[in-house]
Amino acid sequence: MSPTFKPHREATLPSQTALLGVELARVASDPGALGPDPRFFRALIDAIPDPIFVKDMACRYVLVNTACQELLHGGDGDCLGRCVFDFPRLSDNAGRNHADELATVQEGIAVVDREEPIEFPDGRRGWLLTNKYPIRNAGGAIIGLVGIARDITALKATNRELAETRQRLADHVENSPLAIVEWGPDRRVQRWAGQAAAIFEWTAGEVLGLSFDEFQLVHAEDSTRFDGLCQRLLAGLEHRSVAHSRNLTKTGRTLYCTWQNSVLHDAAGHVVSVLSLVQDVTERVLAEEAIRRAEIERLALERKLQESQKLESLGVLAGGIAHDFNNLLTGVLGNASLARMLLPEDSPIAPQLEEIEVAAERAADLCKQMLDYSGKGRFSVQPLDVNALVEETAQLLRASISKKAELKFTLEKPLPRLIGDATQLRQVVMNLVINASEALGEDGGAIALQTGVVQADRRYLESTLLSPTPEPGEYLFVEVRDTGRGMSPEVLTRIFEPFFTTKFTGRGLGLAAVLGIVRGHQGALHVSSQESLGTTFRVLFPCAPAGAEAPAGTPALRSAWTGHGTVLIIDDEESVLISTQRMLEYGGYQTILARDGREGVDRFREHRDRITLVLLDLTMPHKDGSQTFREISRLQPDARVLLMSGYNEQDAIARFTGQGLAGFIQKPFALGALRDRIEAIVG
């Protein structure tokens, strides 16, 4: 009777491998012990895709299944009776493999989950996960070993990729410019990574496992709001949010931080934690506060200090637009005024020509406003018709405000005049109407504009916002009232702070500008608001003295102009040359035209003995106005030169100070203005 084999108790396998080893050993020693058909067990092991083998005490193969045969020999030849050194593809690990097997058969030491390199029959290199156990006879003596291997090449590649991915993710987290803070439903810190230690100064070892309440991370004044945020996230009311909070470092420094929070769930949908990405925005907030303080100081000085870089860029833009646009308007205005002069007074088209002149002058005023806004012009005060200004400005804003906003006007007529700067007062109306439109939001509503006169006593004026309180008296007011969502008392106290907004970022300059303009006009400002009931802004201005009139329209033209002599016109714009030539020839002058500075100098050199006056543009190709003027002055020091430009006078003549310039005329100009200026120079 054949001996009975069983695994040694120290090498007991957890599953089928040990039992299989016993059966294989029995098959190897006595195939008849399996029953009448031992082919059943042979078919069984051959069906298993993992290589299975049995070796004797000399570590030679005595039994292999089909998978093992293909692994060792590629399916050809006989493996039995051979050892690991007989297979070249196993040579890389043959020494260690043989040493393990000797330890198994000689000392009973099992090889468990050993990863071994292998070259497969097709030339691929990979890995096997091998287990080897001693086989003992009934007396406990070791008579061989049984082994089973599994191809883990793909698994190792997957594990390697997974490990690399995890490492990359870990590197991303640790090298993130943000602080990574993960906290659980109990508000205890589960992860403290990225820049968390660098920003807040606590190490991960100091805070992991601690609740936010156990170390002072949140500023006391923000703790209530932060608690509410945590409750909403953990209760599932919000799945992600962005919060802005003041935080404290380990050493007590105050930081301003932005928290981007995302709720993490398990497979069942339960909240397991909240992942917060925290950015330190202290420098930005402090910079904004510095700007806010600078803006307050600027407003306190009647907006006299300007941001130099912005003004420079706006000045270049506005100057270029004014120059090109005023050149076009010079042709329009000059030809229209000349046509009016040539027509009889009772001509039916005279009113239309006058309207063209008025429109051109208003267009020129738009260019002046751009120069004024950019700081390249002078703010000028004059008697103004407030009703006309309100209607004009509000109508222009219709395209800019919400389509759901309804504009209503209640304008008291007649009104006293207001002494003020039209551009600045338009800005007041624009800012208040736009602010009202934004207050209406998506729901829409009404914006009411009202003007009138109020007798303001000291008590009423003390309720306004400006200090010192204006003197009691009669005030003209402009009121903008909306039906929007209104403001809380806390917001109402801050709306005139520069850059203040109920959002985290925003413009925040509109109402601050209104306050500065009203102060500059010695006025007052009153605001009333109630949540859900809308807001009312009332701006008060002192009334102009009796008799002050709004700017007059286009002046009537004198019919007579009898000049004599020759005028050299130097300008690169054809329409300016032609329209100016026509006006001068109408006035009795002969003209010579030059289309740039270089040609102008040449024409002056040729005809200087008969040239009475030079009309010189400031901005031209080849030679600009100042270069041309210097060359003409060298040719004839007493030459009379009238500078013309779309820029305002103080900017245009700055380069000619002390050089004997005869005068300046600003484009666009009509016939009357040109005549008056020339007569003042040549008589």
pLDDT for the residue numbered 297: 74
CATH architecture of 382-542: 2-Layer Sandwich (3.30)
* CATH fold match for the domains 382-542 and 566-682: no
Q: Which tokens in the block code for residue 479?
A: 């009121």
Q: What are the pLDDT digits (tens) for 279-311?
A: 999 999 999 888 888 888 777 555 434 433 443
Q: Which tokens in the block code for residue 599?
A: 């040609």
Q: Please give, one letter per residue, the 3-state secondary structure of 563-597.
A: CCCEEEEECCCHHHHHHHHHHHHHCCCEEEEECCH
Average pLDDT over residues 420-443: 82
If one compares 301 and 326, the residue with the highest pLDDT of the two is: 326
Q: Which of 6-10, 229-233, 343-347, 665-669 has the lowest mean pLDDT?
A: 6-10
Model confidence at 577: pLDDT above 80: yes
**Homologous superfamily of the 566-682 domain (CATH):** Response regulator (3.40.50.2300)
Three-state SS at 360: helix
Kindly tell me the burial class for residue 511, based on how many C-beta atoms sit within 10 Å of its own C-beta (0-12, 13-18, 19 or more). Answer: buried
Model confidence at 551: pLDDT above 60: no
Phi, psi of 550 (to 5 degrees): -70, 160
Dihedral, CA of residue 397, residue 399, residue 403 and residue 409, to nearest 10: 30
Amino acid at 98: H
Q: How far apart are CA 623 and CA 644, in angstroms?
A: 15
Nearest to 23 by CA among 48, 8, 47, 44: 44
pLDDT for the residue numbered 384: 86
Do 353 and 322 touch, CB atoms closer than 8 A? no
Model confidence at 557: pLDDT above 50: no
pLDDT for the residue numbered 497: 65
Split at pLDDT 50, 70, 90, the class of 161 is confident
Say whether the peptide bond before residue 468 is cis (omega within 30 degrees of 0). Answer: yes
If one compares 304 and 177, the residue with the highest pLDDT of the two is: 177
Residue tagged 């698994």 (tokens) = 155
Nearest to 569 by CA among 609, 628, 627, 622: 628
Sequence-separated contacts (24+) of 169-176 with Cβ below 8 Å:
176/277
CATH architecture of 309-373: Orthogonal Bundle (1.10)
Report how far apart, in Å, the C-alpha atoms of 275 and of each of 173, 240, 261, 267 are: 12, 9, 6, 17
Q: What are the pLDDT digits (tens) for 507-544?
A: 445 676 677 778 777 888 888 888 878 899 999 988 87
Q: Which of 151-155, 320-324, 439-443, 489-493 has the lowest mean pLDDT?
A: 320-324
Split at pLDDT 50, 70, 90, the class of 256 is very high
Average pLDDT over residues 339-350: 75
Q: Listing from the earlier edge strand, what are the strands of the sheet with 189-194?
A: 189-194, 179-183, 271-280, 254-265, 240-248
Q: How far apart are CA 235 and CA 630, in angstroms?
A: 80
Average pLDDT over residues 135-154: 92
Question: CA angle, 438 as apex, 260 and 450 as ends, to 5°?
Answer: 155
Do 167 and 223 touch, CB atoms closer than 8 A? no
DSSP letter (8 states) at residue 217: -
Q: How far apart are CA 425 and CA 403, in angstroms?
A: 24
pLDDT for the residue numbered 553: 46
Model confidence at 20: pLDDT above 60: no
Residues 6 or more apart whose CB falls under 8 angstroms from that of 392 comprise: 426
* CATH class in words for 6-156: alpha beta
Model confidence at 676: pLDDT above 60: yes
Q: Listing from the earlier edge strand, what are the strands of the sheet with 473-482?
A: 405-411, 445-456, 473-482, 534-542, 524-530
Q: Which of 131-135, 300-304, 559-563, 648-652 has the lowest mean pLDDT?
A: 300-304
If one compares 412 and 652, the residue with the highest pLDDT of the two is: 412
Q: Assess if CATH 3.30.450.20 describes domain 176-280.
A: yes
If one compares 310 and 99, the residue with the highest pLDDT of the two is: 99
Residues 6 or more apart whose CB falls under 8 angstroms from that of 331 comprise: 573, 575, 576, 578, 579, 668
Residue tagged 């033209």 (tokens) = 557
Q: Which tokens in the block code for residue 577?
A: 């040359």
Radius of gyration of the chain (CA): 47
Do 34 and 41 touch, CB atoms closer than 8 A? yes
Model confidence at 409: pLDDT above 90: no
pLDDT for the residue numbered 240: 87
Q: Euclidean distance between the first and final Cα of the chain, in Å?
A: 149
Q: How far apart are CA 189 and CA 59, in angstroms?
A: 57
For the chain, domain boundaries: 6-156, 176-280, 309-373, 382-542, 566-682
Q: How far apart are CA 555 and CA 463, in angstroms?
A: 45
pLDDT for the residue numbered 253: 92
Give Cα 57 distance to the centre of its chain.
77
Q: How many CB atoms lie within 10 A of CB 579?
A: 25
Three-state SS at 411: strand
If one compares 551 and 46, the residue with the highest pLDDT of the two is: 46
Q: What are the pLDDT digits (tens) for 562-576?
A: 888 999 999 998 888
Model confidence at 549: pLDDT above 80: no
Q: What are the pLDDT digits (tens) for 602-634?
A: 999 999 999 999 999 988 888 898 999 999 999
Do 422 and 436 touch, CB atoms closer than 8 A? no
Phi, psi of 47 (to 5 degrees): -75, -20
How much of the chain exceeds pLDDT 70, in percent?
Answer: 79
Q: Please give, one letter per residue, the 3-state secondary structure of 432-452.
A: HHHHHHHHHHHHCEEEEEEEE
Three-state SS at 146: strand
Nearest to 410 by CA among 446, 440, 383: 446
Split at pLDDT 50, 70, 90, the class of 21 is low
Model confidence at 16: pLDDT above 60: no
Q: How far apart are CA 210 and CA 360, in angstroms?
A: 73
pLDDT for the residue numbered 108: 92
DSSP letter (8 states) at residue 638: T
